[in-house]
Amino acid sequence: MGVVVLGACAVWSLITAAAHDGRPEGVLLAVLAVGAGYAAGRICGALLPVAAPSAGALAGLGLTVGLPHLTSGPEIVAPLGHAGATAALLTLSAGAACCAAWSAGASALRLALHSLAAAVAVTAAVLGSVGGFAACTAVLLCSLAAGRTRRRGPGLVALALSTALVTALTWAVAGNAVPDGLEGSLAGRLTEHRIELWHDALHMARHEAALGVGPGRFGELSTTAAQSLLSDGKPHSALLQQAAEQGVVGVALLATAFGWMLYALWRTGRPTPVALTAGATLTALATIACVGNALSFTTVSAGAGLLAGLATARPFAEESPGREKDVRARGGGLTQ
Q: Which helix (H) or strand (E) segment is 320 a member of? A: none
pLDDT of 231 higher than 90: no
Q: What is the pLDDT of residue 80?
A: 46
Mean pLDDT (the chain) is: 87
Q: What is the pLDDT of residue 68?
A: 55
pLDDT digits (tens, 9 = 90+) for 52-68: 999 999 999 998 888 75
Mean pLDDT, range 215-226, rounded to an integer: 88
Q: What is the pLDDT of residue 71?
A: 47
Structure confidence at residue 329 as a pLDDT band (50, 70, 90) = very low
Which letter does DSSP use for residue 179 in this model?
-
What distance in Å separates the CA atoms of residue 275 and residue 277, rounded to the nearest whole number? 6
pLDDT of 46 higher than 50: yes
Q: What is the pLDDT of residue 293?
A: 86
What distance in Å separates the CA atoms of residue 303 and residue 311, rounded to the nearest whole number? 12
All residues at 6 or more sequence positions from 264 whose CB lies less than 8 Å from its CB, including other chains: 1, 2, 308, 312, 335, 336
Q: What is the pLDDT of residue 318?
A: 63
Of the candidate ranges 45-49, 152-156, 319-323, the one whose mean pLDDT is the lowest: 319-323
Angle CA(302)–CA(152)–CA(309) in degrees, nearest 5? Answer: 20
Mean pLDDT, range 155-163, rounded to an integer: 96
What distance in Å separates the CA atoms of residue 28 and residue 13, rounded to the nearest whole number? 8
More confident residue, 76 or 229: 229
Mean pLDDT, range 94-100, rounded to an integer: 97
More confident residue, 318 or 190: 190
pLDDT digits (tens, 9 = 90+) for 108-126: 999 999 999 999 999 999 9
pLDDT of 306 higher than 90: yes
Query: At residue 131, what is the residue type?
Result: G
pLDDT of 334 higher than 50: no
What distance in Å separates the CA atoms of residue 290 and residue 240, rounded to the nearest whole number? 8
Structure confidence at residue 230 as a pLDDT band (50, 70, 90) = low
Q: pTM of this prediction?
A: 0.89
Long-range contact list for 166-174, CB < 8 A, 24+ apart?
A: 166/286, 166/287, 166/290, 166/291, 167/239, 167/290, 170/198, 170/237, 170/239, 170/240, 170/290, 170/291, 171/202, 171/239, 171/240, 173/198, 174/198, 174/199, 174/201, 174/202, 174/237, 174/240
Q: What is the pLDDT of residue 333?
A: 40
Q: Which has the closest alpha carbon to 194: 156, 237, 229, 154? A: 237
Of the candidate ranges 31-45, 215-229, 252-266, the one whose mean pLDDT is the lowest: 215-229
Classify 51 as helix, strand or coil: helix
In whole angstroms, how far apart are CA 48 and each of 13, 165, 329? 35, 36, 26
What distance in Å separates the CA atoms of residue 112 and residue 99, rounded to the nearest whole number? 12
pLDDT of 107 higher than 90: yes
pLDDT of 73 higher than 90: no
